[in-house]
Structure 1
Amino acid sequence: MMRAYVEGIGLLGPGLPGWEQSRAILTGEAAYLAAPAVLTASPLLPPAERRRSVPTVKLAMAVGAEALAQTGRDAATVATVFTSSSGDPDTLHQILDSLASEERDISPTRFHNSVHNAPAGYWSIATRCREPSTSLSAHDESFQTGLLEAAAEVSSDGWTVALIAYDLPYPEPLSKVRPIAGAFGTALVLTPQPTGRCLASLDIELSRGDEPVSRMVDIGLEALRTGNPTARSLPLLAALARVGAGGAPEAIVLDLPPGGRVAIRVGGPC
């Protein structure tokens, strides 16, 4: 079992405009109304990088910055794990469109935005962070895999780690073979020891059992959970919202095919 403590949370998705604004929705106290997520270039970036940033970078920067702001930490001192099932869909579509045309030239900016660790690069420029950074992908289990990686770094290396997860939809025609519902991103700042800013504790372990996967009660949130790989995090985020509001500790189960589970016990504020 791995233990980590949550010190900051970021969230941006359809009808979920930020962690503080979304907590009542996640606890069921307020109705969920789906609306497109608004993505803007991060003010942390220098003007040149701000102009070049693509939706994936905007989403990752937004949730990462929100989570770090809650902690009061200097982002330059925090290790990172970036995770996404698909990287930047718009850029990949544009590159494939160019390669299928008579004019096969690809701009250097478009190319460097296509690599999977592009958001990590923009993050390091914006925050001047030189701490260890990992970028990974595991199809529909990318959030779960990223959480395991971040928890392992916290538990074994004693690092404070920002887990930043994000997924956006593909344009046509790629969306027909890889449908992703809306733009959704989340971030968790995890620490090895509780601090005065600790929001909750997480006990995380792998299971080969047949525990039922945690789902969302609200129909719209459940459709988002199943429609966007990063939104698989919604049951965990909802549990964090409930526990943070004074609720009892909760057990959450996330899917990890084939046949696996990520079992998480969410404990109350430290």
Structure 2
Amino acid sequence: MEYLSYSKENQIGTILLQHAPANALCSPMIREINSVLDEVEKDSEVKALVIRGEGRFFSAGADIKEFTTVEDASGFSELGAYGQQVFDRIEQFSKPVIAAVHGAALGGGLELAMACHMRLVTDNTKLGLPELQLGLVPGFAGSQRLPRYVGAAKATEMLLTSEPITGTDAMQWGLANHVVSEDELLDKAYTLAGKAAAKSAVAVSLALELVDFARKGEYEQGAKKETESFGKAFASHDGQEGIQAFIEKRKPEFKDR
């Protein structure tokens, strides 16, 4: 792969963005991310995925040079549509995806991070959608995801001013799960991924699917789906093992089935 590398260890996969100097998102990188998702989806040994950036930044935005190669509005829309398709896939992925964000996550970089199930940031990380500075708007559904996390008023302010917020601000506004020092970032990300990987893959997949209903504001459908999933989890090997282990006061031995 040209724009990233993929590795796995201890049931956790890692996507390392490697597009110097700022890990700018481009269509080939997004295609490579999608290719890794194909691999992770089929690999039962990988139970969680961490996305992080090499160098000074997680991802400081989209690749503006690529924009100059687009000929017309329809071509630009197609570029955005493909990014949205892959980012939607991340958000709906059956295994937890964690973004470990340092330096900056701006524009497309923040849109990628927002598509992940969880975000860890450092206190001095810069997060924002500065597209309006270029006379543009977000293209990878950033205008839709950001208000879900920080509210419509704050999202509007961030869009119209193009001013980023810090990692500390992101934590306070609900955009980040945890804010840590840069030295602690990866340890925290892999600890969190490890806790998820220790669970039954059956229950984790069902839980992620249920949260997606809430994310879309579909309470009634989600609640109905929860009763169905509750039964599936109970009837699974791991559900029965978990109950028995609790009764016997021992650690469950999940088989992911």
Task: Give the TM-score of the pair, scaled to structure 1.
Answer: 0.27
User: Higher Cα Rg: structure 1 or 2?
Assistant: 2
Task: Give the TM-score of the pair, scaled to structure 2.
Answer: 0.28
Task: Determine which structure has the larger helix proportion and give its number.
Answer: 2
Greater relative contact order (CA < 8 Å, ≥ 6 in sequence): 1
